Structure 1
Amino acid sequence: MKRRTVIGGLAMIAMAAASTATMAADTVKVGVVIPLTGGFQSNGRQISAALKTFLATHGETAGGKKVEFIVKDDASAADNALRLSQELVTKDRVSILTGFGNTPAALSVAQLSKRAKIPQVIMVAATSSIMDASPYMLRVSWTVPQMANVIGQWAAKNGTKKFVSIVSDYGPGVDAEAWFDKALTASGGTVAEKLRVPLASPDFSPFLQKAADQKPDALFVFVPTGAGTSFMKQYVERGLDKSGIKVIAMADVTDDDLLNSMGDPALGAITGGPYSTSHDSPENKSFVDAFKKENNGMRPNMVAVAAYDALQLIYKTLDKTQGDATGDTFLAAAKGMTIDSPRGPIFIDPATRDIVQNIYMRKVERVNGELYNTEFETVEKVHDPAH
């Protein structure tokens, strides 16, 4: 009975969306569902700041129509993300949904996106498999395998071969663990032990002790953006930095937004990821300057640049369709789209609707009195290896 009610509700939403699409409105409404509170609120903070920056630099018109953004806080909960998305489609009559600061939020809305034929533009959620859940989903962030695969190959190639992995125990963490292990092992390395830390209120100390007992060359680490400060602090408190055990991690660990607050414990950490605040390009200089101007000196991180690029994708696609945000028309126009992003060139693979981009190996260094993830090696045009 409950399943029939859900399906019936989705059918009504689909009908409402279809009738909205046929209206010759002068405004395209975009629903932005993000975690402004709760465990993933640092993502919401960066997305909100990116939206403010984008509107200041690009205005409110695309494809000859006014673009109106309606922002909702899902409080980092997937059931909230679905409820709010349903309200945005049925009550606010949005044509496009975007945001989704974590995997559960994105997945919760996938059936709504699929049945109502609403483009769902993913700003953060990075678990590879979510793209299979709706043909109307586009991802402009990154995938966990994109990063973990490159990091595993790089580590083995550069002589760091015995690892212990420490990851947060949820979808992206499991993805990171698996793809790093696969790449490292294929290149002649080994993961001596795989440790998973509870996502809620993590205490890394016992896991770091277990890792130290294995005497690895390095730790491979994945924690969500925002949790890296606690990890690096406990890594130093446990004396692992003095033991010669290196940190080679996913970019989330040395989040650009929080890096200065981490202080000396972060120095020397090596990470792989799609963006650094210090990325050297004219596009990034303009982006960082505008972002700081609009947000009281705040630094953008990879979540901010992904959100900014999602908005670029929405505007460029609307320009191409002359303001038509109908699901099939929008998706057809967005597939194959290229963008000169602040992170470097990005491309939406028409076969997978997923992002193709450079992945950079970076090292935390002090530059002009501040800490930065300094890029030292580039792997170009990386597809998601899981597809």
Structure 2
Amino acid sequence: MTLKGVLFGLVSVAAAGISQASAQTVKIGWINSYSGFLAQAGDQMEKGLNLYIKLHTKDLPPGVKVEFVRRDDTAAPEVGKRVAQELITRERVQLLMGIVASPVAAAVAPLTAEAKVPLVITNAGGVAITRISPYVVRFSFTQWHTALPIGAWSVKQGWKRGFSAVADFIPGHDAEGAFVKGFTDAGGQMLGTVRFPPATADYAPFVQRIKDAKPDVAFVWVPAGPAATAILKAIKDLGVREAGINVVSTHDLLPDEELPNIGAFGAGILTAGNYSTMGVRPANQAFLKAWDEEYKGKAIPNFTSVAAWDAASAVFDLIKKTNGKFTGDEAMKYFATVKLDSPRGPIAIDPATRDIIQDIYIRRSEMKDGKLINTDIDTMKAVKDPWKELNPPK
């Protein structure tokens, strides 16, 4: 080989070494419920994440890649904790994202404090989860964001006697507590409460308890998905609303993707939520256009899809600002500054609580052009998690 050839080879090797050294792959552990009773919610979350990745990977800095290492928590806390541990210790992820179920998030959160690996929650709404670890930030909501406002709003309608029926696990307990607080503080009186297994298929006995109590208003909470259709069918079959009982809830009872299954018997119910496909906002119209182009009418986004989209937006911004090189502490410092124009409206992260600040909408369900829709009738601006304001750290 000539001297010129040797020198050319050495230069090529050196250039390749520089290229490899400058390349950066950010590994993110994505924990979702691909199976179990929350699989439908998990699918909504997955679609929101995947759409953002597809549209915005091109926006990453040159040489920076993002690798999502995906795991199924089966909606079980012990499984979620195990896969999170694997992602942290074996896969060496820089971030954890996702989690549908609050019990799973509560099981995972202590691991983030030990490893100083941030957890970016895209659904789990258990109110106390962000207090378990300083490395948890939430882009979804808490049940107090939505259930307390609908409780206070109910009393303003002249409905003074209330009853609640909720699924018996963390988010159901939070929803019940928040509704009761909002309702009683506004002057309402609770006639009773009932809890049922979160994966039950028979809601009739619990709905009958509502009817027998004869309240002015019943607050009903189930996990978003098929459970919403099932409990609303029981409400219809037992004639609860025909008995003069108003039904209210959070957006979990009337999620957008379930409205075609619910149909006309879901009309006239009042809910509080942070997102509806009917929201008239430029960011929402752009999101829905991209969604329809990707999923071609085979899926309808809901609040879970949007939370995953927003969290991905914040994570990609972090990667762009740091060129993919950041510590857990640096990531958490960045998340405390996040402000986004989301499909659901303006959102920000409260630096004091690491929970989301967002608009909450009171919606009335109604039939329009043969379809059940949620129509916003009132807006509460820039709502912080009320529970944290009512229960400051000791």
TM-score by length of 1: 0.91
- 198 and 180 in structure 1: CA distance in 2 versus 1, 3 angstrom threshold: same
Aligned partners of 1:254, 1:63: CA distance in 2, in Å? Answer: 40
Shift of 1:367: 2.5
Q: 2:15 matched to which residue of 1?
A: none
- Alpha carbons 2:284, 2:343 under 8 Å: kept: yes
Q: CA deviation at 1:103?
A: 0.6
**Could you say if the C-alpha distance between residues 139 and 223 of structure 1 is closer, same or farther in structure 2, counting changes exceeding 3 Å?**
same
**3-state SS of the aligned residue for 2:311?**
helix
Q: Could you say what secondary structure the match of 2:277 adopts?
A: coil
Distance 2:166 2:198 in 1: 9
For 2:347, the equivalent position in structure 1 comes to 346
- Unaligned runs of 5+ residues in structure 2 are 1-20, 389-394
Hey, what does 1:140 align to over in structure 2? Answer: 139
Shift of 1:94: 1.3
Secondary structure in 1 matching 2:109: helix
Is the CA contact 1:249–1:270 (under 8 Å) kept in the aligned structure 2? yes
Q: Aligned letter for 2:172?
A: G
Kindly indicate whether the alpha-carbon contact (under 8 Å) linking 1:63 and 1:321 is maintained by their aligned counterparts in 2.
Answer: no
* 1:168 aligned partner: 167
Question: Matches of 1:325 and 1:250 in 2, distance apart?
Answer: 37
Contact 1:162 1:216 (8 Å CA) reproduced:
yes
Residue 213 (structure 1) aligns with? 212
| Structure-2 separation of matches of 1:342 and 1:88 | 30
**Displacement, 1:25?**
5.8
Distance in 2 (alpha carbons) for counterparts of 1:250 and 1:234: 18
Deviations 1:145-181 (A, max 9, x none): 1111111111112212211101101111111111111
Q: Distance in 2 between matches of 1:190 and 1:336?
A: 40
Counterpart position of 1:18: none
- Cα deviation code 1:260-296 (max 9, x no counterpart): 1111110111100111111111111111121222223
SS at match of 1:206: helix
The residue number in structure 2 matching 1:112 is 111
Partner of 2:316 in structure 1?
315
Runs of 4+ in 1 over 3 A off after TM superposition: 60-64
Q: Give the structure 1 partner of residue 296 of structure 2.
A: 296
2:243 maps to 1:243: yes
Report SS of the residue matched to 1:37.
coil
8 Å Cα contact 2:340/2:346 also seen in 1: yes
User: For 1:278, what is the secondary structure of its paired residue?
Assistant: coil
Q: How does 1:12-91 map onto structure 2 within 5 Å?
A: 26-59=24-57, 61-62=59-60, 65-91=64-90
Whole-angstrom distance in 2 between the partners of 1:127 and 1:156 = 25
Is the 8 Å Cα contact of residues 212 and 240 (structure 1) preserved in structure 2?
yes
- Check conservation: 2:196, 2:206, Cα contact below 8 A: yes
Larger Rg: 2
Secondary structure, in 3 states, of the residue corresponding to 2:162? strand
Q: How many aligned residue pairs are there?
A: 365
Secondary structure of 1:268 counterpart? coil
Does the aligned pair in 2 maintain the 1:320–1:333 contact within 8 Å? Answer: no
Q: Which amino acid aligns with 2:55?
A: T
Equivalent-residue separation in structure 2 for 1:137 and 1:83 (angstroms): 18
Cα deviation code 1:59-100 (max 9, x no counterpart): 255355211212211111111112112222222221110011
User: Does structure 1 conserve the Cα–Cα contact (< 8 Å) formed by 2:112 and 2:135?
Assistant: yes
> Aligned partner of 1:229: which letter?
T
> How far apart, CA to CA, are the structure 2 residues paired with 1:153 and 1:132?
26
Alignment partners' CA distance in 1, 2:84 and 2:335:
21
Provide structure 1 residue ranges, at least 5 long, that are not aligned to the other structure: 1-22
The answer to whether the 8 A contact 2:152-2:183 is kept is: yes
Q: Secondary structure at the match of 2:257?
A: coil
- The 1:196–1:149 alpha-carbon spacing in structure 2 relative to 1, beyond 3 Å, is same
Q: Tell me, in whole angstroms, the C-alpha distance in 1 between the residues paired with 2:277 and 2:117.
A: 32
